Structure 1
Amino acid sequence: MGQERNNETYEVHKSDELGRYLVATRDLSPGDVVLTELPLVFGPKAMLDPEASMPCVGCYKPVFTDIGERCSKCGWPVCSGNCPGLNDPRHHGVECIILSARPECVLDNMAEYYRHDALLPLRCALLQHTDPEKWKTLLEMQSHVECRTPGTEIYDEANEFIVEYLINSFINKLDDSIKNKYLKEISPDLLHVMCGIIDTNALEIRLPDGAELNALYPTTCLMEHSCIPNTKHLFNLSTKDKNGFYRITVKVVVPITKGSHIATMYTHALWGTQARRQHLKDTKYFSCKCQRCSDPTELDTYLSAMKCFGDDKGPCDGVHLPEDPLDDETEWACSKCSIKVNNSQINMLISQMGEEVENVQMMGGSVNMLENILCRLSTFLHPNHYHLYSIKHSLIQLYGRQPSYMSEEILDKKIKMCKDLITITKTLDPGNARLSLYSAVLHHELQSALLLKSKKVKSDGTVKSIEETKPLLAEAKKSLEIALNSLKDDIEETSGKKLYEVIEESQRDFNKYCKEKNISF
């Protein structure tokens, strides 16, 4: 075990298993800032439909490809010839010199001709000229090149779309004087190292206008992964402070005791253990052994559990859980009878079901479609299974919103669903590090169902008394407060901001209604 630089909140430690990682130097409370730093380097990702729009290379605003202006030197799409980022060395200023080796513009096959994903590896390589100190720091980051060997999918993709693209389109066309000045060290191998560093360490930044960037942060990248993270990170997206571009702030979300590891999360909080661990192996090259991954029940949420498969006499009412969730070959044993099922069978079933769920969601599932698939999959899956969570999360946003789904019975069903999902969400992410938007939607929908229920007439046609409605409304009021509170760190981001505004509107309507009815809490 080694120990490196100190800070008021953390120390950098080192071990064979974890490499470098951060440890709290004192007790930390929710809201405390662990660290804040500027990125070493950042660059745009391709847009979702690159044939239709591309990010401006100077400021990353989406530009329509058919009408967009071009950089006068290198021909890449820009928002305007006067974009200040075009001459800024942190943005397009230096790479333009390299990209100008191919000044021709095209209008066909633009997504192949202008590969925005190749810009960040190029910007990384250019640090050797623009900022040798940052270059040194960058080369200390983990690249896992030992796992990214020729023949692996990840190597071959990087080779075709980034390395060969940069070398053949630009670097081989450069004058030696320019090459020696800006890219003294450059080779396919070096570019593969850059790709590895980006894949392993980059954080994704969503900009308010819909574009996305990848950015590398020298200290933040040392935080280890845990499927129960104790921090969350926020980016400064305000363009007023040009020197604070994309500054990251890492905040504590649940109490961290002195000497504990400071952790973040690199995968999806609402995936089951097998899916999360596979994703981490594929993208980050390690096998997670955190508390959640090691627990077959995933902290008593049963997020991956299956119902008993049974034998010839049929299933019992037990649930199948992995005997050892950290073993890829584990058997899944029933909690009540002796039936065991092997892991590959479970995996196959789960991925088939996952595709079905995805298809229904992609088609903008109607209540009918969602209820059908919920009913079908409930035969096999524990009610808390993550595939069912996904379907229920869609359903609660439709129940009580469409005229044919407003009955008291449906509202009661919605209230129960919301509460079940809230329990799972809160258990998996008590500090709203990853699931703040889910939590806000659940509490908002719960409020809406409680409010509607309070307004419903009783079966005998009489109106509910204040004594009957007040508990429902008190709970609704509390749900609104929790919903808004869970979004307090998300207001900079577009999706968080929109949701916050919707819930604020509901809160205004709710308060107005209570005032009219003369109900106070």
Structure 2
Amino acid sequence: MGKETENGGSQIFEIQKSEELGRYLVAARDLAPGEVVITELPLVFGPKAMFDPEATMPCVGCYKPVFTDVGERCSRCGWPMCSGNCPGLTDPRHHGMECDILSARPECVLDNMAEYYRHDALLPLRCVLLQNSNPEKWKQLIEMQSHMEYRTPGSDLYDEADEFIVEYLINNFINKLEDGMKKKYFKEVSKELLHTICGIIDTNALEIRLPDGSELNALYATTYLLEHSCIPNTKHVFGLFSKDKTELYRITLKVVVPIIKGNHIATMYSHALWGTQARRQHLRDTKYFSCKCQRCSDPTELGTYLSAMKCFGDDKGPCDGIHLPEDPLDDETDWACSKCSVKVNNSQINMLISQMGEEVENVQMMGGSVSMLENLLCRLSTFLHPNHYHLYSIKHSLIQLYGRQPSYMSEEIIDKKIRICKDLIAITTTLDPGNARLSLYSAVLHHELHSALLILSKKAKSDGSLKTVDEIIPLLNEAKICIDKALVSLKDDIQETSGNKLYEVIEESKKEFVKYCKEKKVNI
């Protein structure tokens, strides 16, 4: 099986099957960065609950956040909406069809709204409605993996789905429908089917962040076949703006690093800046498999040492070696020092890393000041390799404060900022050479490095004299390369709010940079 390019060119991928991976995609020919592998509309999509549903909920028609207690209500089913004119209310892909089902519960309430209107239940409902409304889409959807073997009664996943989605839909709506209405909308609707749908959504749905802050989950007929790798070779973007409303949420999957014919086409379902054990645990919990990719199999994580610890030492104290897992694919592995005979068991490492993670999170959530971040960095550096992902996180925060606050503008601080930026860029580029997952991190790092080089070019020399044009040209050349790299790394993120905002900030910096070069009569 394969796929033709849109212009009728050669086949791009083939669908293959194995015992271990199930169905997956391989390149049917050599693929170059920028080539589109897949572009498709979702089979079905639906809103997720807002972060604080007692305060705001998504409109059922267009998903804009509306105030929970004062927002308008759909005149038929009572669910929160932005206004009676919202076009999504009558659109069958949005609220148009489900409204008939949700209207089976006539009451409208103003108390305990978050429990009464469960937005996470709308996507499973929209899925089962495809049975009659679009049998072709239903056939594609029901073929997706649900991993029900892991979601048995009594498991957390089953019990949660049972209470918040399955029982909720059956008791409040489906059981209240007359037989004629049931037949009109469903070929079959049962607890078992709804649980299977919940499994399909949890395993295969992709999250779409909308510009106004709400989020959707969507299922795609071909994209779901993509396997995971902690070194992804593709990146996907969603169409969030379109005059043609039927084109909304189209996914486009692009190649980001060269893929040789026959190689697997992969995406990433975890966080690229987590260490191996954290990534593998997350994938086991959410995707039900243990990753064995090149990065997970390498104790050094491609030479970045992102999970490495400093030697714990024995009675005589630590040496200057580093602890790495002997077998990163074994959850019970010992961590051995690279220079001495000391070994530490995995549970000790896990406990320490978990405690440190909480400390880092607490400081970040408090909007950590330079002194707080530096103190934490100093403390954790006693135990962690300088490249450890907890230290990466602290340093990434620090470089956005150095050179931007009056008391942190000295030449020594700026030199330190440049050094940290270059270290973090090296890690980021190694882990994600195609900017598939870390484009925003990469953009911030290159922008901050640009800014530090610019400050350095303006600083007086130690004798108080200003730098000559010849002395500042190398700094400005490097600053120009950095700002261009920052903008290039965001080229696929401009539709997303965070990417768009960052792009605008960096674009403004580039204009100021060009102006400064003109003033100095420097041609970069």
TM-score (norm 2): 0.98
The separation in 2 between residues aligned to 1:241 and 1:447, in whole angstroms, is 40
C-alpha displacement of 1:5 = 4.4
Candidates 79, 89, 99, aligned match of 1:86: 89
Summarize the alignment of residues 451-490 of structure 1 with structure 2, pairs less than 5 Å apart: 451-490=454-493
Which residue identity is paired with 1:215? A
How many residues are paired up? 518
C-alpha displacement of 1:66 = 2.3
Helix, strand or coil: the match of 1:205?
Answer: strand
Q: Which residue of 1 aligns with 2:131?
A: 128
Candidates 321, 326, 331, aligned match of 2:324: 321
Deviations 1:170-217 (A, max 9, x none): 111111111122123111111110110000000001111111100000
Candidates 358, 363, 374, aligned match of 1:360: 363
The separation in 2 between residues aligned to 1:207 and 1:29, in whole angstroms, is 29
Q: Which residue of 2 aligns with 1:304?
A: 307
Summarize the alignment of residues 48-447 of structure 1 with structure 2, pairs less than 5 Å apart: 48-447=51-450
Which residue identity is paired with 1:317? D
| Counterpart contact for 2:311–2:323, Cα < 8 Å | yes
Which residue identity is paired with 1:305? A
Helix, strand or coil: the match of 2:494?
Answer: coil
Between stretches 85-94 and 464-473, larger displacement belongs to 464-473
Which residue identity is paired with 1:458? K
The separation in 2 between residues aligned to 1:46 and 1:27, in whole angstroms, is 41
C-alpha displacement of 1:282 = 0.3
Helix, strand or coil: the match of 1:196?
Answer: helix
The separation in 2 between residues aligned to 1:270 and 1:516, in whole angstroms, is 40
- The share of aligned pairs that are identical, in percent, is 81
| Counterpart contact for 2:73–2:81, Cα < 8 Å | yes
Which residue identity is paired with 1:23? V
Between stretches 462-471 and 19-28, larger displacement belongs to 462-471
C-alpha displacement of 1:6 = 4.7
Which residue identity is paired with 1:453? L
The separation in 2 between residues aligned to 1:87 and 1:429, in whole angstroms, is 43
Deviations 1:348-394 (A, max 9, x none): 11011001100000000000110010000000000000000000000
Q: Which residue of 1 aligns with 2:512?
A: 509
Between stretches 403-412 and 182-191, larger displacement belongs to 182-191
C-alpha displacement of 1:103 = 2.3
Q: Which residue of 2 aligns with 1:12?
A: 15
Between stretches 238-247 and 89-98, larger displacement belongs to 238-247
Helix, strand or coil: the match of 1:9?
Answer: strand
The separation in 2 between residues aligned to 1:154 and 1:338, in whole angstroms, is 42
Helix, strand or coil: the match of 2:192?
Answer: helix
The separation in 2 between residues aligned to 1:133 and 1:158, in whole angstroms, is 26
Note closer, same or farther for the CA distance 1:88–1:339 as it changes in structure 2 (3 Å cut): same
The separation in 2 between residues aligned to 1:42 and 1:230, in whole angstroms, is 26
The separation in 1 between residues aligned to 2:18 and 2:354, in whole angstroms, is 36
The separation in 1 between residues aligned to 2:312 and 2:221, in whole angstroms, is 48
- Moved >4 Å (runs of 4+): none
The separation in 2 between residues aligned to 1:463 and 1:6, in whole angstroms, is 61
The separation in 1 between residues aligned to 2:239 and 2:476, in whole angstroms, is 37
The separation in 2 between residues aligned to 1:152 and 1:426, in whole angstroms, is 39
In the alignment, structure 1 segments of 5+ residues that lack a partner are none
| Counterpart contact for 2:2–2:12, Cα < 8 Å | no
| Counterpart contact for 2:228–2:268, Cα < 8 Å | yes
Which residue identity is paired with 1:307? K
The separation in 1 between residues aligned to 2:103 and 2:204, in whole angstroms, is 29
- Tell me how large the CA RMSD over aligned residues is: 0.8
C-alpha displacement of 1:479 = 0.3
